[in-house]
A and B are shown apart, each in its own frame.
Chain A
Amino acid sequence: MIFGKNYQSFPMDITKYEKIFAQESGKYLKELEDLLMQVEKNLSNLGLWAEVHGKVHSIKGMARALSLNKISDLCHLMEEWCLKFQQGKIMSSTAAVQALFDSSEFLGVLISKNGRLDSFEDQKVYDRLISIFQKSPPENAVTVPVPQPPPSPAYSQPIIAGIDYVRIRYAFIEELLGLTQEIQLLAKRFPSFSKDQMSSGLKNWIDHYTALMKVLYFQLTQLRLMPVGDFADMFRKSIRNIAKENDKNIDFEIIGGEIQADITLLERLREPLIHIFRNCIAHGIEPTEERIGKGKSADGKIAIEARSEKENLYIKIRDDGRGINKSLIIKHLKEKQKITDEEIENMSEEDIYDTILSTEFSSSSGATELSGRGIGMRVVAQSVDYLGGSLTISSKEDIGTEFSIKLPLSLSIIYAIIFSVGKYTLAIPTLNINSIDRIDLSSAEKPESYYDTRKLMGIAGEKNNYATVLSLRYAADKAGFTDEKSCMKLIVDNVIGNRPLMILPMGELLSRIKLFSGIGIMENGDISILIDVDNLP
């Protein structure tokens, strides 16, 4: 009622509440209709009628709070009927249930129009419904209700499952993160108090409070994660539309959809992915007759697969189309790029297909000969590059093509050893650290095997004889590393500790530095630069 009265003075608030109302009442209407379907088959179940009554009552209450009188008036009359059925005073009938169905459907219309009857037609329906409910409900032939046992527990349980998930606007999460961060900053600007003003109890309280704030902030950042499946689902409609434009039918499959990834990262993949899908549909998947001729299923298949490995996220897009004509790429390499037969012989499959991603190829006739396969692929590769990732293509003629995107550390919490080198704060994932030691370099066995991180970071100055050394460890399956490299030792200035880090992707500028794999945010908001141990020179 408060909001209703102040409608004029709080126009902003009211829109917000109207939105909430529309969401909530939509949910109640759905539940109401489910209940009506049950009660239709079980007219004398008083317990069910009580639930129907409850739903109508909830909608009425919310509508009243917003002064949406048309809605609340109709609900009120509906409630009176429900009450009579619920108390067993009148035996309900299918006609009565139908009237409730009609009005619940019309409530849906009214809610979507913020409770306004904005057409003559609406007004007519509304008046008709009101006049029906003002009368006594149409009774069943049997007027004396069968005495009902108390509602069975099964019915008093909620009909729908509990709510596990809610939808939230992404911008709202950003707002929350911003606010918590600001509160954290407030703690840093805490005014200084004299001893008399500040009891130790108060000090403890503040410390505890700020510590909790940090944890809260860290947890909130997890809200930025989204299942890849939900993201991939957003393409379903586009894929269908592109397929229709090309007169093809596509089965779209999502694999590994439960894997979580940073929304900002996924957002930046939207354009490149739609480009790849378009390529698959327009050029990869053959026309239906051709597919049938080849003994393939009439509908083309496109799959998107997400996989996380170490701190990398892999997204693969596969089609079961005609594949990329390798001989055309080879022709391009020979004719346009003057690459000899011998050199081509030595190129890996991957290298050959990667030609498609080059600028030379995109702008050459090779692309058009390959029916546009290459056009724009350069742009896709660039976008992935900006995210610090890489794109590889593999293809088999008549079997299909696979585009594999490898992305760096998506936003997630990892543990890392934080250390300083000069004025820089750097980090290496704890997984990649074998040991941390203090070593006297003058008596070390092979001093040349120690890596001078200062030099690597472009800091001048002599190294100390006593040094803190991080021994690296690579994943066992990491191919291409000699023993020497797999036990590389980095000399660093100071080890700060083993801390949880929230990993953010680097911006466009820093992504150019191959030595870094991401930016780590510590619990106190401090930044450290994550070193990509695979890219140490």
Chain B
Amino acid sequence: MKLFVFKSKDEFIGIESDYVHRIIDDSKVTPVPLTPESYTGLLYHRGELFDVINMRLLLGYPVDGSAETTRIIILKWLNKKLAVIPDEITGMIWIDDNSKNTNEFYHENHKIRLITPDDLWKKLSELSYGHNKI
């Protein structure tokens, strides 16, 4: 299994590369009112709208300005899509398929947390949108 790895705060996060639709650079994200803090905004890319999520905030880390990347990871799976802002894109690693069901594993002494897009979506869905949030 190919794993796409990115960094958020000090954590390495791996996501199955099949879900990674595209990495885009330098795109304008439009903020949307009444959304949770981790919801950065909307991205319009190639005729499609994407919800853009700040990974750091979604994981509950504060934003301290150390995030360098302007890159956005676009995920597509089943009938869903999501754009994620990482702190840094690390690269791609190969792991054996047995690791698929674990939550984390070690690669060259680094702990990598495995997530699925559904995990992210679930986390996002649990947040509140609209006026009941105020």
Within 8 Å of chain B (Cβ to Cβ): is A257?
Answer: no
Within 8 Å of chain A (Cβ to Cβ): is B107?
Answer: no
For the complex of A and B, list the 10 residue pairs with the smallest distance between their C-beta atoms, beginning with the closest: A178-B46, A177-B47, A457-B33, A527-B30, A513-B130, A512-B129, A424-B33, A513-B129, A527-B42, A423-B31
Q: Which residue of chain B is the closest to A220 with respect to CB atoms? A: B47
Whole-angstrom distance between the Cβ of A159 and the nearest chain B Cβ: 39
Q: Which residue of chain B is the closest to A504 with respect to CB atoms? A: B49
**Considering the chains assembled together, what is the distance between the CA atoms of A512 and B51 in angstroms?**
13
- A509, B42: Cβ atoms under 8 Å? no
| Contact mask for chain A residues 343-358; partner B; CB cutoff 8 A; 1 contact, 0 none | 0000000000000000
**Considering the chains assembled together, what is the distance between the CA atoms of A529 and B39 in angstroms?**
15
Within 8 Å of chain A (Cβ to Cβ): is B28?
Answer: yes
- B44, A221: Cβ atoms under 8 Å? no
Whole-angstrom distance between the Cβ of A193 and the nearest chain B Cβ: 20
Whole-angstrom distance between the Cβ of A525 and the nearest chain B Cβ: 6
Chain B residue numbers with a CB within 8 Å of A506 are: 49
Q: What number of A residues sit within 8 Å (CB to CB) of B?
A: 34
Chain B residues engaging chain A, CB cutoff 8 angstroms: 28, 30-35, 39, 42, 44-47, 49, 51, 80-81, 124-125, 129-131, 133-134
Given contacts A458-B33, A512-B129, contact A177 B46 (CB under 8 A): yes
**Considering the chains assembled together, what is the distance between the CA atoms of A178 and B44 in angstroms?**
11
Main secondary structure of the interface of A (DSSP, over half): mixed
Whole-angstrom distance between the Cβ of A216 and the nearest chain B Cβ: 13
- B35, A425: Cβ atoms under 8 Å? no
Main secondary structure of the interface of B (DSSP, over half): mixed
- A526, B129: Cβ atoms under 8 Å? no
**Considering the chains assembled together, what is the distance between the CA atoms of A508 and B80 in angstroms?**
9
Within 8 Å of chain B (Cβ to Cβ): is A537?
Answer: yes
- A521, B44: Cβ atoms under 8 Å? yes
Q: Which residue of chain B is the closest to A458 with respect to CB atoms? A: B134
Given contacts A457-B33, A515-B34, contact A181 B47 (CB under 8 A): yes
**Considering the chains assembled together, what is the distance between the CA atoms of A459 and B45 in angstroms?**
28
Q: What are 10 A-B contacts defined by CB distance under 8 Å?
A: A181-B47, A182-B46, A423-B31, A457-B33, A457-B34, A458-B134, A504-B49, A513-B129, A527-B44, A527-B49
Instruction: Say which residue of A174, A457, A510, A513 sits within 8 Å of B46 (CB atoms).
Output: A174
